[in-house]
Amino acid sequence: MEPRVRADIRRYIVATWLSGDDRGFDDETDLQQSGILDSFTTLALIGFLDDSFQVQLEPAEINADTFRSVSRLARLVVQKLEQREKTGA
Amino acid sequence: MRIDRLVSPWAERVPDRVAIEGVRETLTYRELDRLANRFAHALRAAGVEPGDRVGVHVPRSPRTVAAMLGASRAGAVYVPLDPGSPPARMQLVARDCGLRHVVITPGLLAGWIAAGVQEPVERFLLAEDGAVPALPAPGRVHPWPEVQAASADPLPPPGASPDELAYLLYTSGSTGVPKGVMLSHRNALAFVDWACDAIGLREADRVASVAPFHFDLSVFDIWGSLSRGATLVVVDEGMVASGRAMVDRIQARGITVWYSVPSAILLMLENGGLADRGAPSLRAVYFAGEVFPVKHLRRAMAALPQARFYNLFGPTETNVCTAYALPGPPPPEATAIPIGQASCGDVATVVDPEGRPVPDGEVGELFIEGPTVMLGYWDGGRRTPARHPYPTGDMVSRRPDGELMYHGRRDHMVKIHGFRIELGEVEAALLAHPGIQEAIAFAVEQQLVAVAIPSQPSLSVLEVKRHCAARLPRYMVPGEVRLVQGLPRTSSGKIDRVRTRNAVVSGDTALLAPALRAEPRKEP
């Protein structure tokens, strides 16, 4: 599941904030140092995670560490999806 | 002094010296003086009265100058019209200032007729041989031989006061509606005399005419060279599109003084081979009209080590009001050069939004008082007088050494999510990247957009953002970065901000073609 989540997040970021130019961008690219995420784009990304994966982040989860890179974000999303499956089952 | 009186003394002293060297035609001082008189007589015979506006819609050539001088000698206000503008825009200008007479070429007149544009113009005077076409509305076309046959004797001087209106320059204004800036003889010559004295312009000089005549830079070229008995060398509309053609012209004609927008100099560096070929005849380079990115300025100064460089500054409404003589190439750590100190007899103050002077180092609006401040806007004949001191709309700060630094247009200050952003600062950061050739920034709704021309196809959007994030507060990092092959230009050669922004908003990819992409080198 994680590769698909990663790909979705990556595609969204490249389309929304990199004018579709994915050169140099990968799952480990630092989203803050690269000027992609600030407080407003972070909000948009949170909205995207909600719309695409029905994942809602807790305030404590919204921090620089989680939003460091595509891979960290994807890991959190997958964690939450798996948790939901367990509790739902 | 008045513009209409500048040339005659030289026509008497050095009648056979070349006054204007065109591409197909050359006029000596005597020939220029006599042709200007013929235009003056022909315009009077066609009904021009003192104070009337006379349009001059002729590509840049010796004859164009003779027509403007002739209109001035007839007591009229000359209005240079852009040969590259569509007739519909010319009609907006003609209606605004009530043009009844236009000096024009047969080719450009054919364009007016084909577009069904004529009113309010009643009389056209042809500046070249050609068929006399039928007009769509009542009026008359005077063929060129009629001008040639007019008397070459001087008319009685039209007036004595240097404060009379001499010419109108139409600027596009931020709304896109042309605005007629009213300039007096004193306005023009305060700048011209200052600029001639600053470089010691003399009879042996050969001054380039690069700027379009409807653009205020040309005021120095024309009246500076002709008031000092020098030679004006036309670098015509065909040449200014090519860096190579411009360098060829400088070299072949031994041009000594050059005044243009930085974009034209950049073009000579980029595709004219200026860095390798040099231009040893050039001794003074004035530039104005837009910010000269320091990295390109360094290249230009390295290519022309023998030339003095001067940054001139001022909106059309004040002609030139501050100036900075570069003591040498900008030091490596410099990201901008000063616009200097008040020039031309003007006084510069830096004020806050309430009009109070701000302390040195703080950013405020530049207010100008002095002889270069325009009379006002023509404004459909209402003649709105200029405010005094004149608020330029330019944001500047004064350094401890007295030099003014430019921070961009007041209307280039945008607010995004409550943050005040100076677009000039964003652009300076973009240009600091070695892989960016040219760049502009603007706001679209609540998003900061940058449009840049990369100098290497390997430059990626991510790299541009990362570069900005390392230099600017996060809220000043452009949210959207477009890498494009070229940017639209205004008729004066500057980057056209309005059209660029409109193309982004409307998604026009014809105007903003995406730059070619190549994989960047792998990062370590």
Contacts of B434 (CB under 8 A, 6+ apart): B295, B455
With a cut of 60, say whether residue B523 has pLDDT above it.
no
Contacts of B379 (CB under 8 A, 6+ apart): B96, B179, B180
Mean pLDDT of B86-97: 91
Q: How far is CA B5 from the centre of its chain?
A: 24
**Torsion angle (degrees, nearest 10) of CA B74, B79, B84, B88:** -110
Q: Tell me whether residue B490 is in a domain.
A: yes
Contacts of B469 in chain A (CB under 8 A): 32-35
Mean pLDDT of B52-66: 98
Contacts of B473 in chain A (CB under 8 A): none
Q: Does A42 touch chain B (CB under 8 A)?
A: no
- CB-nearest to B462 from A24, A38, A40 is A24
pLDDT per position as a tens digit, B212-262: 999 999 999 999 999 999 999 999 999 998 999 999 999 999 999 999 999
- Listed range (A85-89, B169-173, B435-439) with the worst mean pLDDT: A85-89
Q: Does B482 touch chain A (CB under 8 A)?
A: yes
Contacts of A32 in chain B (CB under 8 A): 469
Q: Tell me whether residue B86 is in a domain.
A: yes
With a cut of 90, say whether residue B474 has pLDDT above it.
no
Inter-chain touch B460–A34, beta carbons under 8 Å: no
Q: Does B460 touch chain A (CB under 8 A)?
A: yes
Inter-chain touch B461–A40, beta carbons under 8 Å: no
Q: How many domains does the structure of chain B reveal? A: 2
pLDDT per position as a tens digit, B279-335: 999 999 999 988 899 999 999 999 999 999 999 999 999 999 999 999 999 999 898
Q: Does B474 touch chain A (CB under 8 A)?
A: yes
Contacts of B452 in chain A (CB under 8 A): none
Q: Does B445 touch chain A (CB under 8 A)?
A: no
Report d(CA B381, CA B387) in Å as an integer.
Answer: 17
CB atoms under 10 Å from CB of B112, counted, come to 24
> Is residue B111 a contact partner of residue B57, using CB atoms and an 8 Å limit?
no
Q: Does B517 touch chain A (CB under 8 A)?
A: yes
With a cut of 80, say whether residue B439 has pLDDT above it.
yes
Q: Tell me whether residue B373 is in a domain.
A: no
User: Quick one: pLDDT band at residue A39, thresholds 50, 70, 90?
Assistant: confident
Inter-chain touch A17–B519, beta carbons under 8 Å: no
The CATH number of residue B487's host domain is 3.30.300.30
> Is residue B422 a contact partner of residue B482, using CB atoms and an 8 Å limit?
no
Q: Does A18 touch chain B (CB under 8 A)?
A: yes
Residue A64: the pLDDT is 84
Contacts of B448 in chain A (CB under 8 A): none
Inter-chain touch B520–A34, beta carbons under 8 Å: no
Mean pLDDT of B83-89: 86
Mean pLDDT of chain B: 94
> Is residue B71 a contact partner of residue B45, using CB atoms and an 8 Å limit?
no
User: Quick one: pLDDT band at residue B422, thresholds 50, 70, 90?
Assistant: confident
User: Nearest-CA distance from A57 to chain B in Å?
Assistant: 23
Chains A & B: contacts with CB separation below 8 Å: 55
Inter-chain touch A19–B462, beta carbons under 8 Å: no
- Listed range (B54-63, B120-129, B205-214, B462-471) with the worst mean pLDDT: B462-471
Q: Name the residue in chain A with its Cα closest to that of B466.
A: A34
pTM for this structure?
A: 0.84
Mean pLDDT of B38-44: 98
B180-216 burial, b for 16+ CB within 10 Å, e for fewer?
bbbbbbbbbbbbbbbbbebbebeeebbbbbbbbbbbb
User: Nearest-CA distance from B402 to chain A in Å?
Assistant: 36
Q: In what order do the strands lie in the sheet with B18-21?
A: B26-28, B18-21, B231-234, B206-209, B257-260, B284-287, B308-313, B322-325, B341-342
Residue B175: the pLDDT is 52
Residue B420: the pLDDT is 78
Q: Does A41 touch chain B (CB under 8 A)?
A: yes
Q: Name the residue in chain B with its Cα closest to that of A16.
A: B480
Paired residues of B514 in beta bridges: B484
Residue B173: the pLDDT is 55
Residue to mutate among A34, A38, A45, with most B CBs inside 10 A, is A34
Residue B416: the pLDDT is 83
Mean pLDDT of B43-58: 98
Inter-chain touch B480–A17, beta carbons under 8 Å: yes
Residue A13: the pLDDT is 96
**Topology at the third CATH level for domain A2-88:** 1.10.1200
Q: Does B463 touch chain A (CB under 8 A)?
A: yes
Residue A86: the pLDDT is 86
- Boundaries of domain holding B58: 1-12+29-160
User: Nearest-CA distance from B412 to chain A in Å?
Assistant: 22
Pick from B289, B300, B294, B301: nearest CA to B335: B294
Q: Tell me whether residue B253 is in a domain.
A: no
Report d(CA B170, CA B216) in Å as an integer.
Answer: 10
Report d(CA B311, CA B261) in Å as an integer.
Answer: 10
